[in-house]
Amino acid sequence: MPGSIISIHVGQCGNQIGAEFWKTMCMEHGIGPDGAPSQPHKAGEDRKELFFNEINLGTRFMPRSVLVDLEPRVINQIKSSEYAQLHNHGNMYVSSCGSGAGNNWACGYNQNGEIIEEIFDILDHEVGNADSLEGFVLSHSIAGGTGSGLGSKILESLKDRYPNTILQSCSVFSDTGDVVVGPYNSLLTLDWLIEHPDIVMVLDNQALYKVAVETMRLQTPSLEHINSMVSRIMSASTAPLRFYSPVYTRMAHIAAYMNPYPPMQLVQTAYAPFIPVDNKYVVNTSAEKVLSRLLDPRSLISSASTIASSRPPAIPNQTQHCMLSALAFLQTDGSRTQSENAIRRHASRVNLSSSMKFPSWSSSGFNIATCNLSPYMEHPTILQKIIQQYDQLRKRDAFIDRFKQEGVEKGSMDNSREKIAKLVNLYEEATTPEFLEIPDDISINNISSFSISRNSSTPATPRRNY
């Protein structure tokens, strides 16, 4: 029996995604914008209690969520939206100074201890309301300041305070060109994502826009379209927990399958069929068609290259796409024609070899988990790109003073760069038959420790040993 799951939304991007995510969750569980059931409860059909607190004997449901930002704009929009009554406003944290993190990872990470304690007072209270806490899901962007820096601090603190829970991040890899110091922020955030979460869902903004244009046929995708796409991916990733899948009934089961070889916990996502937000027509599909779409490289929410792609590698000498393990969640209407055995027969007709490549040593392969519909309604490439963008800034020491002022030295940033580069090498080694014979000293944990220096204006931060 799965336990409760608490969602944490950090920064502008994390909270905008969170707002759409809870709209999707309410729609799937028959809950109105005010938290009241919009349809009679169907016993045994769903487990809404995993993500919602039940209030007054089921007359109202409130998300198990905490919203965090250092500036008030997005959270104020949520407070004045149609879904304002859905959320517990006591679970919304906005810094009293309201100045944000200035698009600086170090500023976000180095928020003073009082702010961190105030955030964790809210989180600890929410944990106290949870029945058999299963884990946390944190949404954020890695390129800005609050989502990246403060998000990293929260991930680190969660792992320290709740070491026996599963920690999953939904991390948006934004175009670093949007923020001049984006490559610095992204590289430092990746360091923390390697260290702390059990699963990192990679949501590549560039790939999302490409899917919206090529698959959804949207000429100019709006932010609403992109956030809606992300919310559906997030909700689908938890569907087996909420809608009684016969397998993968806990976050720990999914984490163990998708991350059998830490620290390679970055997970590519694909979703099908994607339907525009304002679509007025019912889309009829089948398990075979859905599986074929999921395995189509164009469905991946990542700009990593794929084995089926005819395009030349984006980066010279780049290793071709290879999956260490793959897990498909299929939601069905529960009828006999969509039984698990029938779906597996459909899967047998899909040509996996033309779409997916697995290393010869991998025993994980491709697996399928099914669950009911709602009763109410490539990593090395993307990491190398961030390293390249970091190197371009670093060779000129561009804007480096912004980080030094917050106690992050160049040597510490270079250590993070080396760690990410080693992870890229590890992913590339995983494509070879000899991967399981690689000696332990290849571990990225052998890189020298990361430390943030402290001066009179910088709060103390712990030394991190890998």
pTM of the model as a whole: 0.81
Within this chain, do residues 244 and 138 fall inside the same structural domain, yes or no? yes
In-domain check, residue 452: no
Within this chain, do residues 428 and 305 fall inside the same structural domain, yes or no? no
In-domain check, residue 278: no
In-domain check, residue 457: no
400: CATH: 1.10.287
Within this chain, do residues 54 and 194 fall inside the same structural domain, yes or no? yes
Mean pLDDT of 345-354: 59
Residue 155: domain span: 4-273
Within this chain, do residues 301 and 342 fall inside the same structural domain, yes or no? yes
Within this chain, do residues 357 and 258 fall inside the same structural domain, yes or no? no
Within this chain, do residues 328 and 440 fall inside the same structural domain, yes or no? no
Distant-in-sequence, close-in-space partners of 71: CB < 8 Å, separation ≥ 6: 12, 94, 95, 98, 99, 100, 146
Within this chain, do residues 341 and 435 fall inside the same structural domain, yes or no? no
Question: What span, in angstroms and rounded, lies between the C-alpha atoms of 15 and 87?
Answer: 12
Using the CB atoms, write b or e for 90-99: b if 16+ within 10 Å.
ebbbbbeeee
pLDDT over threshold 90, residue 23:
yes
pLDDT in tens, 412-446: 999 999 999 999 888 888 777 777 665 554 455 54
In-domain check, residue 280: no
In-domain check, residue 12: yes
Question: What span, in angstroms and rounded, lies between the C-alpha atoms of 257 and 363?
Answer: 11
Question: What span, in angstroms and rounded, lies between the C-alpha atoms of 81 and 459?
Answer: 36
pLDDT in tens, 70-98: 999 999 999 999 999 999 999 999 998 87
If one compares 111 and 365, the residue with the highest pLDDT of the two is: 111
Query: Of 273, 305, 325, which residue sits at a domain end?
Result: 273
Most confident range, picked from 13-22, 307-316, 454-463: 13-22
Within this chain, do residues 230 and 345 fall inside the same structural domain, yes or no? no
In-domain check, residue 148: yes
Within this chain, do residues 104 and 201 fall inside the same structural domain, yes or no? yes
pLDDT over threshold 50, residue 218:
yes
87: CATH: 3.40.50.1440
- β-sheet bridge partners, residue 6: 136
- DSSP single-letter state for residue 442: G
Within this chain, do residues 227 and 246 fall inside the same structural domain, yes or no? yes
Supply the DSSP string of 350-415, one letter for each residue. Answer: S-HHHH----TT-S-EEEEEEEEPPS---HHHHHHHHHHHHHHHHTTTTTHHHHHTTT--HHHHHH
The structural domain count of the chain equals 3
Within this chain, do residues 238 and 128 fall inside the same structural domain, yes or no? yes
Among the ranges given (78-87, 202-211, 342-351), the one the predictor scored with the smallest mean pLDDT = 342-351
